[in-house]
Structure 1
Amino acid sequence: MAKTIDALISEYFQTGTLQDLPNKLFINGEWVSASTTKTIESKDPGNGKVFASVSAGQAEDIDKAVKAARDAFINVWRDMKPSKRGHILSKAAEILEQKADYFAVVEALDSGKPLDEAKGDVASSVGALRYYAGCADKIQGDTFPLGDGVFSFSSVDPVGVTAHIIPWNYPLATTLRGVAPALAAGCTAVVKPAEQTSLTALMLADVFVEAGLPDGVYNVITGTGAEAGSPLVNHPEVQHITFTGSVGTGTLVMDAAAKNINSVTLELGGKSPIVALADCDLEKTAEGVLWAIFYNAGQICSAGSRLVVERTIHRELVDRIVEKTSQLKAGHALTNPNYGAINSIEQLEKIDGFVERAKARGITVACGGERIKTKETENGWFYAPTIMDDVPMDDELVQQEIFGPVLTVQVVDSLEEAIKAANCTDFALAAGVYTQNISHALKLSKSIDSGQVTVNDYWAGGIEVPFGGNRSSGIGREKGLEALRNYVTTKAITMTF
């Protein structure tokens, strides 16, 4: 019988860990030891303590996983009836839902996010499996009208072995955002989770085994980017790479893909603007901005990290957001606060560096601007929800991704200035618009360069809606039917008679 959430929380606080956490690699349907005895520690961001460890996979392990995935693709998965593939994914969704409490507790511990946020991540992961389970038998070709005596049609075929490099901010959800459509399309997968948050990608292997997924279709190699990630993206038998992470690493992934003439899906972060016009609903806007930047402590690629606000409402809107920010209380993930930890000490120091440099330049701190040190948080990695006010367009707070709970405010005097400010960075991932004027909403939605725009609700959307960025924010789209395009090729067949 599965342990309840309360039992799991009690076990953790009593022992400092949880029983039966995975610590091996998963290759060809089996838990196997890595080719080295080296391990990587998993630390709880809420208290800075080690609570688990995983294997440090190497190039040799990657090679075994890719070959297993290649064999499974050729011999089993590619030619399996699509409806049967969908049935297996649907069964996996059902099993993951049954184990949701366990996954949520582990995800919260590994990432530092509040338990309720982790529960939401698991629920969205279940939804991704169900969505793509329903897509498996609906991937189809077309016919082309060439006239009498000619029959031309296309088949849509899976690309083969796919590599998935997973970030640390949404470990389970990002894994399934790529793996679910890949498997639905008939591809096999080798997953390299972030070394900080490897556990739920490993745990997912048992879900797939129980659901009846054939050996070799889903493989997980934990390890560092240099020792496991690089050999994976450079492997000649990988046909597609799905990567979420920094621009610098994404460039290296593109270089590796180019050498093997592979396709890529790159989601490389953002500096997403929220445009608040003078006619917006101030209360709704303040609440929307609050969670756009402070959900998951701002550690979201598409976080609304810039507020572009018309001057006539600037002071009142910022004051409202500051007031709401005071209601956020940090704490350990398993105490379910409404504001969580930073995932690592390295990320905490990066965030702190951005703010300290801004202070030295004379940028106004509307609230926050320091590490949180309370009895509940003294040993963990916490940074106060921070608002930097009236920041010049060329400042690094505007131009660079901080990836933390720091909102940068840009003040403008017109719709045209708002569009210019929204588009002033190299990133183009997401954007939000708050206005009650439909014409302004449409103009902004069309004029802002980004992969997606939401109006009057920053986190509107779901697994059905394509997600991805332009320019430095990446290439390709995930989620929705659009994601299936990443994992298939089109073959044209023409016959004369």
Structure 2
Amino acid sequence: MTPSTQQSEVILSINPANGQVAGQVEKNSERQVERAIDLANQAHIEGTWRKMLPHERAATMRRIAAYLLEDKERLALLQMRENGKPILECLRIVDNAANAWVYYAAVLETLETEVTPPRGNYLSHTILEPFGIVAAITPWNSPLMIESYKIAPALAAGNCVLLKPSEETPQTSLELLKFAKLAGLPDHTLQVIQGTGAEVGPKLINDDRVQMITFTGGTATGRTIAKAAAERLVPCTLELGGKSPQIVFADADLDLAVDGVVKGICGAAGQSCTAGSRLLIESRIYDDFLGKLKYEMSLVRVGAPHLETTQMGPLASFKHRDRVAALVDLAREEGATVELGGFSPQGELSSGAYYAPTLLTGLSNNSRTWNEEIFGPVLCVRSFDDIEDLMRDANCGSYGLAAGIWTREFQKAWDVGRAIDAGTIWINTYEQSSLSTPFGGFKQSGIGREKAAQCLRTYSQIKSFYWGMNT
């Protein structure tokens, strides 16, 4: 795509820790998006990438991982300046991104197709074929990692990928593209489209040559993408919002539970789809646990993301910080008591998009604040008396992404975990993650699953062969 030199065609990336410009990239026009699709389609038809043997594609993917790790510190700083995550977390994100390329290279080399049971004098078996062009649309909260979680299996399957990163965090995608080229990925097999969803999204999701869409982000946008995919009868995977409950029973290890609840809402400043943003405490320990929790949340070190002592940095943008603040104000109107936080820190943090860890009680289970995803360090708390009471509050609302259960009783954990409408259940831990375990949600938290070996099949089409034995 030919870059534009007009100022109006530039996307500025703003450092949320201080409001300064972190970088800029050139925005793509609709005509340039059309050209990118043309080039991807040509690359797919020529088939240089998809015709490579699995071990050859895998070798390229491992080289991409090596480049990521070689430049780990610079990539971590780049992401830190774009979305404000603490530097130690950004370093882990680069590791996770590299791991995705290594993992799917291994899956690709060991993937087996099937020889199916015949019902006649023939041999039948299956192979996997790529869709062709995959549009991958990614969010701003962990860009390099989520981009890799989508692109690595899509490329492993032999597809060409058009990546549309968030306009809030556009720079890491260009670094990933650079490393892919250095690693030997054929031209136009991976391309990056820069622009807002409103500007470039419609062309990506409505072009008939784009044969699959994968999206991580808000539920409203996910619904729009699902409608477009349904209209063209192409598959899509959607990883959307969440309002995940953490459940603390009286028999739990309360110190362990407090630590898990704090990390579940303050990690990434609550800007994670799986953030444990609802808390349900068994009534007979409610006051004691709430007191412990309030104290531990007050100790969370909010500060500049470049400091290794910082536990929670700013929110990813000033616009998003203002949205979180507005939802806390709404909670007050809905009758919530602000037990802790509920404000933007001043002093040396006043120039950034910071928001204090916030603890809300007194909300009804039909309030907007209890049910709406805030995507910030805001924890809504209720108590429960029995399992029926618990399940009513845990399962209410439109989301079903994850849940955490804290108890020493195995049977209780199993029964409650089975009853919760969520795609991931953590027991006596929270937000542990494994590339080898599928991830996705129930209800309006998404469609399909990411991660795990099965993800390579997600980006593939099954083709069946029958070989006659009579000749």
TM-score (norm 2): 0.96
Q: Which residue of 1 aligns with 2:136?
A: 164
Q: Which residue of 2 aligns with 1:33?
A: 3
What is the CA deviation profile of residues 124-170 of structure 1, one whole-angstrom value per residue up to 9, with x for unaligned ones? 11111110111112333212222441211111111111001110111
Q: Which residue of 2 aligns with 1:366?
A: 339
- Residues 48 and 380 in structure 1, CA contact (< 8 A), matched pair in contact too: yes
The equivalences for 1:427-438 within 5 A come to 427-438=399-410
Structure 2: state its 5+ residue gaps: none
Q: Which residue of 1 aligns with 2:60?
A: 88
> Which residue, out of 463, 472, 475, partners 2:447?
475
- Residues 214 and 236 in structure 2, CA contact (< 8 A), matched pair in contact too: yes
Q: Which residue of 2 aligns with 1:151?
A: 123
SS of structure 2 residue aligned to 1:366: strand
CA distance in 2, matches of 1:263, 1:35: 36
1:68 aligns with 2:49: no
What is the CA deviation profile of residues 213-260 of structure 1, one whole-angstrom value per residue up to 9, with x for unaligned ones? 111111101111111122111121111101011111111111221232
Bigger drift between 210-219 and 58-67 goes to 58-67
CA distance in 2, matches of 1:461, 1:335: 25
- Residues 335 and 362 in structure 2, CA contact (< 8 A), matched pair in contact too: no
Shift in Å at residue 48 of structure 1? 1.1
Bigger drift between 302-311 and 251-260 goes to 251-260
Q: Which residue of 1 aligns with 2:320?
A: 347
Q: Which residue of 1 aligns with 2:16?
A: 45
SS of structure 2 residue aligned to 1:370: coil
> Which residue, out of 186, 199, 202, partners 1:214?
186
Output the amino acid matched with 1:68.
L
Output the amino acid matched with 1:357.
L
What is the CA deviation profile of residues 100-121 of structure 1, one whole-angstrom value per residue up to 9, with x for unaligned ones? 0000000000011111111111
Does the C-alpha gap of structure 1 residues 60 and 154 become closer, same or farther in structure 2, counting only changes over 3 Å?
same
CA distance in 1, matches of 2:291, 2:203: 50
1:402 aligns with 2:351: no
- Residues 139 and 185 in structure 1, CA contact (< 8 A), matched pair in contact too: no
Output the amino acid matched with 2:13.
S
CA distance in 2, matches of 1:495, 1:214: 34
SS of structure 2 residue aligned to 1:95: helix
- Residues 305 and 406 in structure 1, CA contact (< 8 A), matched pair in contact too: yes
SS of structure 2 residue aligned to 1:333: coil
Q: Which residue of 1 aligns with 2:428?
A: 456
Shift in Å at residue 35 of structure 1? 8.7
CA distance in 2, matches of 1:296, 1:265: 24
CA distance in 1, matches of 2:56, 2:5: 35
- Residues 233 and 241 in structure 1, CA contact (< 8 A), matched pair in contact too: yes
Does the C-alpha gap of structure 1 residues 140 and 221 become closer, same or farther in structure 2, counting only changes over 3 Å?
same
Q: Which residue of 2 aligns with 1:21?
A: none
Does the C-alpha gap of structure 1 residues 35 and 237 become closer, same or farther in structure 2, counting only changes over 3 Å?
farther
What is the CA deviation profile of residues 310-363 of structure 1, one whole-angstrom value per residue up to 9, with x for unaligned ones? 111111212112111122222222234111101112111111111112223331
Does the C-alpha gap of structure 1 residues 172 and 84 become closer, same or farther in structure 2, counting only changes over 3 Å?
same
Q: Which residue of 1 aligns with 2:235?
A: 263
Shift in Å at residue 34 of structure 1? 4.1
> Which residue, out of 151, 158, 164, partners 1:186?
158
Bigger drift between 61-70 and 469-478 goes to 61-70
> Which residue, out of 263, 269, 284, partners 1:312?
284
1:442 aligns with 2:414: yes
- Residues 266 and 474 in structure 1, CA contact (< 8 A), matched pair in contact too: yes
Shift in Å at residue 372 of structure 1? 1.3
What is the CA deviation profile of residues 35-68 of structure 1, one whole-angstrom value per residue up to 9, with x for unaligned ones? 9651111100001121211112122111122222
Q: How many residues align?
A: 466
